[in-house]
A = this chain, B = another copy of it.
Amino acid sequence: MNVDWVTPPFDILRFAHIELVVTDLEASRGFWVDLLGLVPTEETDDAIYLRGLEERLHHSLVLRRGPQPLVDHIAYRVRRPEDLDLIADAYAALGCESRRVEGVEAGQGEALRLHDPLGFPLEFFHEMDQAECLLQRFDLYRGARVTRADHVNIYVPDAHEGFELYRELGFRCSEYIASDRDDRLVAVWLFRKQTVHDVALTTGYGPRVHHFAFTTAEPTAINQYCDILAGQHKEGVIERGPGRHGVSNAYFVYMRDPDGHRIELYTGDYYTGDPDHRPIRWSASDARRRTFWGHHVPDSWYEEGSFVRAPDGGPAELHEPILDERLVAAE
């Protein structure tokens, strides 16, 4: 990968949270709070605001009751309040209108919302209330011992096109999967904070959210969580893993919530903060790229995902992908 990295005038810190529309708030609470162990910071009639044990901001996940499962928006935190204006300008130059919202999310100050050229509903914000960090309240740890939100992974019809867009926003690439035949990008991992990624792009029917991820305290927490699930006969929520990723080197498991939203537990990637950090290339035909131990990836993992809210409020229409990683892998 031989590209120029960009330093835009604004500073996107990191992936910060996601807002999910769920159809049964009580069932979702059972999954995210009682089972997984996320901490509720605030609950209203139609929404629950959650955070991980390490987190110090008001929320890193919002569950909001609605008529059909959707991703309402994906949110990034910016370094300074004034970055919001600069980001609005940048998207305007791409033909995307944005608007300010305030008071829509509990605990959050003014935010910028827009639909990006790929069709994703995004939010940028700086101000959010602080919440108590529970990192050393080990007596309160439950379920998967979830520490913090780490990244979102999105389906786009063409990962290369998506990569170009994020590159212009200042994202850097840590790893990517490419076809050996024509070197076309199949998937790409992009970061702002000093880890492997804040957002990953997976080629597929898009715009959809493939999954988002929380970190856990250690790899053992992931196995223990699978035990906890199976102990109450809920092993059916596990879709893939546990295992070690080739890309990112993290230990992981994927699960599906009551509405089918996919959540990853993820721990143990690496530092990417040096300016000459070089992207790692994986061949699409290397069986280790998705699970380092060569495990088969189920078709549901390649095919299913969450619809995102379109400007009209309903689910965004999908566009056909330019390739299928499973076919490229078999070439």
Contacts and interface: CB of A to CB of B under 8 A. Distances in A.
Contact of A293 (B141, B229, B232): B229
B138 A274 contact: no
A182 to B, nearest CB: 24
Interface in A80-132: 80, 130
A292 interface: yes
B292 A230 contact: yes
A294 B231 CA distance: 11
24 contacts: A13-B273, A14-B273, A56-B278, A77-B274, A130-B276, A133-B280, A135-B270, A136-B292, A138-B231, A141-B231, A148-B271, A218-B218, A219-B223, A223-B251, A226-B244, A227-B244, A227-B292, A230-B288, A230-B294, A233-B288, A235-B294, A236-B287, A236-B294, A242-B242
Interface in A129-151: 130, 133, 135-141, 147-148
A249 interface: yes
A138 to B, nearest CB: 4
A243 B292 CA distance: 15
B138 A228 contact: yes
Interface of A: 13-14, 54, 56-57, 77, 79-80, 130, 133, 135-141, 147-148, 193-194, 217-220, 223-224, 226-233, 235-236, 238, 242-244, 246, 249, 251, 268, 270-271, 273-278, 280, 287-288, 292-295
Nearest to A298: B296
Contacts of A294: 230, 235-236, 238
Nearest to A220: B220
Given A138-B224, A218-B268, 17 more contacts: A14-B273, A56-B278, A130-B276, A136-B227, A136-B231, A138-B230, A139-B228, A140-B231, A193-B271, A218-B218, A226-B293, A227-B244, A227-B293, A230-B293, A235-B287, A235-B288, A238-B295
A136 B246 contact: yes
A293 B139 contact: no
Contacts of A80: 275
Contacts of A270: 54, 135, 147-148
A217 B249 CA distance: 11
A143 B54 CA distance: 20
A140 B232 CA distance: 9
